């Protein structure tokens, strides 16, 4: 499954990483190298094997559905690129 | 007074408790060392000198009052991946330059609870993605060790390169670190220090900047196995704020250090002999086997047949999880935001292109690809199935052995710049360490010898889940037998 420049453009968009046109081809080559190496996984017989998503055998814990934290507007906004009046300020994106 | 910065963590904690010296004295001694060494070694990205002295004086007051915790007054370095309240936390990335967490990670909160003093934040590969510290936005860390055969500056390994370099160069008593594919054990092996990754779920991930959540685990880098046992105990705890945190007691692992290993069964996996492995790595491994045999262990040859698939599995699972985790960096609520943009999508994409370095971008791209429609089953789900095979390999041998002995790395520290050209060559650094991350098992690296150029080499002990006790027991036996006392000559 060789990757070409068009695929890199699409994936870079999915990842929301702006990639200049002249980087697409070199990136495609790099990714092809890595994916060719990864394809050795096809040698493994995984018939009937359950995908392993976690190392932890225990089920996720549940707790009461109640508020445990909050009322920290200043802390929440303290690292915002821009904020005003207790809100995040984002650039205008709807005309 | 003798040089306090040469003490072990245990030695320092005992000396502080006995009032042989004060925390202010030892903290000041470390700050002096850092000031002299950091322009060259680049181990710290931020030194919190005033905060350190305040914490030290508070510790001295507690010691004077007959109080104090298990690490009272001990100056530590903190990997810049642990959020520290009011102190910049960047994970080595321009994306987080200037980010000041309004909260404390659980691991570091545990250390302050036990009386430790923070000297500063330690350099690391960007978002812990790297094996040489060269992906850091703050420039590479330099290994205090140099080969007798060359004057080249060497990597301390990665991603916890700042932690390893700082411990090896006496710029802290011990350091926190984190390990997703080998990021504690490989730098420890490259710097003649001890590093342990505990069982997944032992240490809380709350407040650790996330890379790959099913693999990330915190642990210490220290001068001795006993120090690692001491520091790991403070770092670990059950934490309701981490959904994968294990609600189990944390044992006193220092009790395991020094215990006889007589009668323990040690597995030697035949698949860990890899192509192109230097003869001295094989010789070190053979030596480790001989030491444990002499100490009364039974050596058992074992097979972990899926070992060779661990790295390719990791390079699907880790980028996939990273691609999801790092989606949070959109330039809106925190982190870097681009100044110039044409649309909302362009703002996201430009902010991320400006904020993330090359290796992070590469892995996020792989992650997005293996998770994308049409490839999800062929890559991601397939990797998760192979991951189970790898974990089952270990399950299948625990009936025959109590612990497993392997080399920590396929080579000694290499020169900065040496492996930058090809990402695959760099990825091979983790060939011996990555299996335990995929399976969630504890693994320790202990300095056990040197290569022809006098550079340190490490041996790794892998244990059953939650059986750090045996890992420390065997690790300490190797440490005793190796009698590794070499230190880097001070050239910085």
What's the pLDDT tens digit per position in B30-43?
999 999 999 999 99
Residue B479's pLDDT is: 98
**What's the domain range around A36?**
5-42
Out of B5-14, B48-57, B410-419, pick the least confident: B410-419
d(Cα B371, Cα B405) in Å, to the nearest integer? 35
Mean pLDDT of the region B351-377:
96
Q: Which residues pair with B77 in a beta bridge?
A: B120, B175
Which chain B residues touch A38 with a CB distance below 8 Å?
A: 312, 315-316, 379
Out of B51-65, B340-354, B360-374, B407-421, pick the least confident: B407-421
- C-alpha distances out from residue B456 to B121, B364, B392, B449, B465, Å: 25, 33, 32, 6, 28
Close Cβ partners of B96 (under 8 Å, ≥ 6 residues apart): B89, B90, B209, B334, B335, B336
In a domain, A86, yes or no: no
Which chain A residues touch B365 with a CB distance below 8 Å?
A: 8, 11-12, 15, 17, 27, 31
B361 close contact with A: CB closer than 8 A: yes
pLDDT at position A1 over 70: no
Which chain A residues touch B391 with a CB distance below 8 Å?
A: 52, 55
In a domain, A16, yes or no: yes
Interface subset of B 422-441, CB within 8 angstroms of A: 422-424, 439-440
Strand residue runs (E) in B370-486: 403-407, 443-450, 456-463
pLDDT at position B1 over 70: no
A16 vs chain B: nearest CA distance in angstroms? 4
What's the pLDDT tens digit per position in B248-290?
999 999 999 999 999 999 999 999 998 888 899 999 999 999 9
Q: Which chain B residue lies closest to A79 (C-alpha atoms)?
A: B334
In a domain, A14, yes or no: yes
What's the pLDDT tens digit per position in A6-54?
999 999 999 999 999 999 999 999 999 999 999 999 999 999 999 998 8
Close Cβ partners of B241 (under 8 Å, ≥ 6 residues apart): B106, B204, B206
**Which residues of B are the active-site residues?**
79, 159, 183
In a domain, A29, yes or no: yes
Q: Which of A50, A54, A66 is nearest to B243 (CA)?
A: A54
Q: Give the one of B244, B313, B333 whose C-beta lies nearest to A54's C-beta.
A: B244
B331 close contact with A: CB closer than 8 A: yes
Q: How many domains does chain A have?
A: 1
pLDDT at position A93 over 90: no
Residue B260's pLDDT is: 98
Q: Which chain B residue lies closest to A12 (C-alpha atoms)?
A: B365
Identify the band that residue B109 occupies on the pLDDT scale cut at 50, 70 and 90: very high
Residue B65's pLDDT is: 97
pLDDT at position B429 over 70: yes
Residue B15's pLDDT is: 98
What's the pLDDT tens digit per position in B442-474?
999 999 999 999 999 999 999 999 999 999 999
Q: What DSSP state is assigned to residue B130?
A: -
Contact criterion met (CB below 8 Å) for B317 and B214: yes
B387 vs chain A: nearest CA distance in angstroms? 6
In a domain, A66, yes or no: no
Which chain A residues touch B323 with a CB distance below 8 Å?
A: 15
Torsion of CA B164, B166, B172, B176, to 10 degrees: -40
Identify the band that residue B425 occupies on the pLDDT scale cut at 50, 70 and 90: confident
Residue A56's pLDDT is: 83
Q: Give the one of A31, A60, A82 whose C-beta lies nearest to B366's C-beta.
A: A31
Mean pLDDT of the region B335-360:
96
What's the pLDDT tens digit per position in B191-212?
999 999 999 999 999 999 999 9
In a domain, A19, yes or no: yes
């Amino acid at each position: 499954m060789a990757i070409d420049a068009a695929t890199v453009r699409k994936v870079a968009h999915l990842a929301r990483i702006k990639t200049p046109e002249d980087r697409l081809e070199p990136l495609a080559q790099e990714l092809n190298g890595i994916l060719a190496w990864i394809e050795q996984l096809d040698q493994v017989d995984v018939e009937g094997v359950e995908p392993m998503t976690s190392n932890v055998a225990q089920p996720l814990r549940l707790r009461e559905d109640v508020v445990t934290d909050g009322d920290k507007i200043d802390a929440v906004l303290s690292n915002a690129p821009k904020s005003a009046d207790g809100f995040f300020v984002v650039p205008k994106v709807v005309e | 007074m003798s040089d306090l910065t040469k003490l072990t963590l245990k030695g320092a904690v005992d000396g502080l408790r006995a009032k042989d010296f004060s925390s202010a004295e030892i903290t000041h001694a470390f700050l002096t060392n850092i000031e002299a060494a950091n322009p060259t070694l680049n181990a710290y990205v931020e030194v919190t000198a005033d905060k350190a002295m305040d914490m030290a004086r508070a510790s001295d007051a507690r010691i004077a009052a007959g109080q104090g915790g298990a690490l009272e007054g001990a100056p530590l370095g903190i990997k810049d991946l642990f959020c520290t309240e009011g102190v910049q936390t960047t994970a080595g990335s321009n994306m987080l330059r200037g980010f000041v967490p309004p909260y404390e990670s659980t691991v570091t909160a545990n250390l302050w609870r036990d009386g430790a003093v923070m000297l500063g934040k330690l350099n690391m590969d960007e978002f812990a993605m790297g094996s040489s510290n060269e992906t850091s936005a703050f420039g590479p860390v330099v290994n205090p060790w140099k080969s007798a055969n060359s004057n080249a500056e060497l990597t301390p390994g990665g991603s916890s390169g700042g932690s390893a370099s700082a411990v090896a160069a006496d710029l802290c008593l011990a350091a926190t670190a984190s390990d997703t594919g080998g990021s504690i054990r490989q730098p420890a092996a490259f710097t003649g220090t001890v590093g342990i990754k505990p069982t997944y779920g032992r240490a809380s991930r709350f407040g650790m900047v996330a890379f790959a959540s099913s693999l990330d685990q915190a642990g210490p880098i220290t001068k001795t196995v006993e120090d690692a046992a001491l520091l790991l105990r403070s770092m670990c705890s059950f934490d309701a704020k981490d959904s994968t945190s294990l609600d189990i007691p944390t044992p006193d692992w220092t009790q395991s250090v020094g215990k006889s290993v007589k009668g323990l069964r040690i597995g030697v996996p035949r698949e860990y002999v890899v192509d192109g492995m230097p003869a001295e790595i094989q010789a070190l491994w053979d030596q480790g086997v001989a030491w444990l045999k002499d100490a009364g262990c039974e050596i058992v040859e074992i097979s972990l047949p899926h070992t060779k698939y661990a790295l390719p599995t990791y390079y699907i699972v880790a980028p996939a999880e990273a691609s999801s985790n790092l989606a949070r960096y959109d330039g809106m609520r925190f982190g870097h935001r681009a100044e110039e943009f044409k649309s909302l999508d362009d703002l996201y994409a430009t902010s991320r292109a400006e904020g993330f370095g090359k290796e992070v971008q590469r892995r996020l791209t792989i992650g997005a690809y293996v998770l994308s429609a049409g490839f999800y089953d062929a890559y991601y789900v397939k990797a998760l199935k192979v991951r189970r095979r790898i974990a089952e390999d270990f399950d299948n041998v625990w009936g025959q052995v109590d612990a497993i002995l392997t080399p920590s790395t396929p080579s000694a520290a290499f020169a900065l710049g040496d492996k930058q050209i090809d990402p695959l060559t760099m990825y091979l650094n983790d060939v011996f360490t990555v299996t335990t991350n995929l399976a969630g098992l504890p693994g320790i690296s202990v300095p056990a010898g040197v290569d022809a150029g006098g550079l340190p080499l490490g041996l790794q002990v892998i244990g059953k889940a939650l059986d750090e006790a045996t890992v420390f027991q065997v690790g300490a036996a190797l440490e005793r037998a190796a009698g590794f006392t070499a230190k880097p000559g001070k050239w910085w």
